């Protein structure tokens, strides 16, 4: 039995050291008063009230050289609470940073960048305004999800929630109710199950898809403030279920493979983005001896955990690696599920946002990469994706296309769980909206990503028949 598992997250960055104008840690020195100003302005409120972001901006800083990169790395090291939306890398899109409007933060950051002749553009002038636009009610109101448990009311109203569900982003309670609805409507195809419990005791619900047949064969997902990832994965799930028996191409891949789809892995963190802090990244697990909460589930996998790359041992950092591999229960539960398949998983896809990338192993090593058939399948998937709405996704190994990333799910799936076609996919966009992609882009993003997945499955099916059978 062959299976596909997809998931949502991963990535990190190259840490570079230099011999000029640096400390013994390879970072440029800068005025401590400047760093103190940024640190104070970046600390979140501690009263438990919903965090607001009036006047906060997102700046895109160009990084033209290794020297520029070192200066930005210094900033990231010295101010772990500063919100880096992307990890720094050399190029025009260098790094995206959210800057607070309080306590002189914008002036301090501008002074630091000016000191080293680093140019920047403001591409989100007010984060709170962007958040509120993302939360605007849809033009066509979706059926109230509390009614999804009442099958008769749906029938009497002649309503199909799958038609309007993707006009907005949903909190975890509505996602779970939608999954219940799909399982109730399509019991011959879908089965709901729990990977396990999060730190705060919530279930990590997933759906197993399997068409009625004699010989089974199997895709999945994971992350936090990136709302588009869970939405796109649910779009793929809905398309596979509702198109079975109607669309020959989608029916064929469901006839050929079993799919496991986990809409949200970091359930506590995702819920926290809806109730308290839209920009939250990590899980909600306390750290002993530190007021800062959370571990980054994307850097907590038992694959070169704590090695080179964009990781941090500072609990206040958004990329905090945790106290040990799988110290966070959320990635541990998914790892246990994948490894328990005893090598039957043929593909793992970890979706999140943003940057438009389709990546394969390795993240931890820049001198090693997956075989050519893994790269070719990714190229085919990205080409099919582009054919839908014209969006270009760059393809390459994680370390070589962006930066070095230790402790990732993609490397773990490939090396430890023996998953041949293991990928990390960063969805729309390339920075115009960043993490705050408008809901009107959910369906287009879902449509193009579905096309990429369908193409990928077709390539895998052909590979299994022609080349891969002897290797499995």
The residue with greater pLDDT, 310 or 413, is: 413
Residues 41-70: what's their mean pLDDT? 82
In the predicted structure, residue 92 carries a pLDDT above the cut 60: yes
Neighbouring residues of 322: CB distance < 8 A, sequence distance ≥ 6:
295, 296, 299, 300, 328
Between the alpha carbon of residue 48 and those of residues 278, 296, 318, the distances in Å are: 13, 21, 19
Nearest partner of 403 among 311, 317, 472, 331, judged by Cα: 311
286/401 Cα distance (integer angstroms): 33
What rounded mean pLDDT belongs to the chain?
A: 82
Residue 23: pLDDT band with limits 50, 70, 90: very low
Which DSSP helix (H) or strand (E) runs through 58?
strand 57-63
The residue-averaged pLDDT of 248-273 equals 92
- Per-residue pLDDT at 13: 15
Strand partners, 237: none
Q: CA 127, CA 219: separation in Å to the nearest integer?
A: 34
Residue with tokens 């880096």: 84
Distance of CA 367 to the CA centre of its chain: 25
Q: Which of the two residues, 336 and 312, has the higher pLDDT score?
A: 336
pLDDT for the residue numbered 36: 56
CA 15 – CA 154 distance, rounded (Å): 54
Domain ranges (residues) in the chain: 3-11+141-471, 32-133
| Main-chain phi, psi angles of 332, to 5 degrees | -60, -40
Q: To 5 degrees, how large is the angle CA 303–CA 306–CA 307?
A: 80
Which DSSP letter does residue 298 get?
G
Kindly provide the b/e burial profile for residues 374-410, where b requires at least 16 CB atoms within 10 angstroms of the residue's own CB: bbebbebbbbbbbebeebebebbbbbebbbbbbbbbb
**Top-level class of domain 3-11+141-471:** alpha beta
Ranked by mean pLDDT, which of 19-28, 92-101, 174-183 comes out on top? 174-183
Query: pLDDT-derived band of residue 317, with 50, 70 and 90 as boundaries?
Result: confident
CA distance 21 to 440: 47
Chain centroid, CA 320 distance in Å:
16
pLDDT of 105 reads: 87
Angle at 403 between CA 272 and CA 428, to 5 degrees: 50
pLDDT band at 17 (very low <50, low <70, confident <90, very high): very low
Contacts of 339 (CB under 8 A, 6+ apart): 416, 417
Instruction: Please report which residue ranges of 286-441 form alpha helices under DSSP H.
Output: 329-339, 372-389, 398-401, 409-415
Is the model's pLDDT at 150 over the cut of 50?
no
pLDDT-derived band of residue 353, with 50, 70 and 90 as boundaries? confident
Question: Mean pLDDT over residues 80-99, rounded?
Answer: 86
Reported as a pLDDT band with limits 50, 70 and 90, residue 243 is very high
Q: What is the pLDDT of residues 419-434, one digit of tens each?
A: 999 999 999 988 788 8
Kindly report which listed range (1-5, 10-14, 28-32) carries the lowest average pLDDT score: 10-14
Q: 91-99 and 83-84: which strand pairing?
A: antiparallel
> What three-state secondary structure class fits 393?
coil
> What's the whole-number mean pLDDT along residues 316-320?
88
pLDDT tens digits for range 380-409: 999 999 999 999 999 999 988 888 888 899
Q: Using an 8 Å Cβ cutoff, are 253 and 454 in contact?
A: yes
pLDDT band at 341, cuts 50/70/90? confident
C-alpha–C-alpha distance, residues 190 and 182, integer Å: 7
Other beta carbons within 10 angstroms of residue 213's beta carbon come to: 11
Q: Is 426 a catalytic residue?
A: yes
Percent of the chain with pLDDT over 90: 58
End-to-end CA, the chain: 10
Quick one: 366 exposed, middle or buried, by C-beta within 10 A (0-12, 13-18, 19+)? middle
Class of domain 32-133: alpha beta
pLDDT at site 157: 39
User: Of 225, 226, 330, 426, which residue is the catalytic one?
Assistant: 426
Q: What is the DSSP track for 139-180?
A: SSPPPPGGGGG-HHHHHHHT--GGGTGGGS---HHHHHHHHH
Out of 135-144, 244-253, 459-468, pick the least confident: 135-144
Q: What is the largest CA-CA distance in the chain?
A: 73
pLDDT band at 139 (very low <50, low <70, confident <90, very high): low
């Amino acid at each position: 039995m062959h299976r596909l598992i997809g998931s949502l997250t991963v990535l990190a960055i190259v840490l570079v050291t230099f011999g000029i104008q640096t400390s013994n840690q390879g970072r440029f020195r800068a005025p401590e008063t400047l760093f103190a100003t940024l640190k104070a302005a970046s600390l979140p409120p501690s009263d438990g009230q919903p965090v607001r972001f009036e006047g906060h901006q997102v700046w895109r800083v160009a990084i033209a050289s290794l020297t520029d990169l070192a200066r930005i790395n210094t900033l990231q090291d010295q101010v772990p609470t500063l919100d880096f939306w992307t990890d720094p890398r050399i190029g025009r899109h260098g790094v995206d940073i959210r800057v607070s409007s309080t306590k002189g933060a914008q002036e301090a950051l501008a002074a630091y960048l000016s000191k080293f002749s680093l140019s920047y553009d403001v591409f989100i002038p007010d984060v709170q305004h962007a958040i509120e636009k993302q939360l605007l009610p849809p033009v066509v109101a979706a059926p109230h999800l509390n009614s999804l448990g009442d099958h008769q009311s749906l029938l009497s109203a002649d309503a199909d929630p799958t038609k309007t569900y993707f006009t907005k982003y949903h909190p975890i309670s509505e996602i779970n109710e939608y999954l219940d609805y799909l399982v109730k409507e399509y019991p011959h195809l879908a089965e709901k199950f729990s990977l396990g419990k999060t730190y705060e005791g919530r279930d990590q619900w997933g759906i197993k898809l399997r068409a009625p047949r004699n010989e089974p064969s199997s895709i999945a997902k994971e992350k936090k403030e990136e709302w588009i990832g869970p939405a796109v994965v649910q779009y793929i799930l809905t398309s596979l279920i509702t198109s079975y028996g109607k669309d020959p191409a989608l029916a064929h891949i469901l006839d050929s493979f079993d799919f496991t789809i986990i809409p949200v892995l970091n359930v506590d963190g995702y819920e926290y983005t809806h109730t308290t802090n839209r920009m939250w990244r990590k899980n909600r697990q306390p750290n002993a001896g530190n007021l800062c909460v959370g571990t980054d589930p994307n850097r907590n996998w038992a694959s070169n955990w704590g090695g080179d790359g964009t990781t941090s041992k500072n609990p206040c950092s958004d990329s905090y690696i945790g106290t040990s591999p799988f110290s966070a229960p959320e990635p541990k539960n998914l790892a246990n599920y994948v490894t328990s398949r005893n090598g039957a998983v043929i593909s793992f896809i970890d979706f999140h946002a943003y940057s438009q990338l389709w990546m394969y192993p390795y993240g931890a090593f820049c001198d090693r990469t997956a075989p050519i058939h893994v790269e070719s399948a990714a190229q085919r998937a990205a080409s099919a994706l582009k054919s839908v709405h014209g969006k270009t996704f760059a393809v390459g190994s994680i370390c070589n296309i962006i930066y070095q990333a230790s402790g990732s799910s993609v490397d773990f799936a490939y090396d430890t769980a023996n998953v041949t076609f293991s990928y990390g996919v960063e969805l729309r966009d390339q920075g115009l909206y960043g993490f705050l992609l408008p809901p009107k882009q959910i369906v287009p993003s879902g449509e193009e990503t579905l096309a990429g997945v369908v193409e990928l499955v077709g390539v895998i099916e052909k590979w299994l028949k022609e080349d891969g059978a002897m290797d499995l």
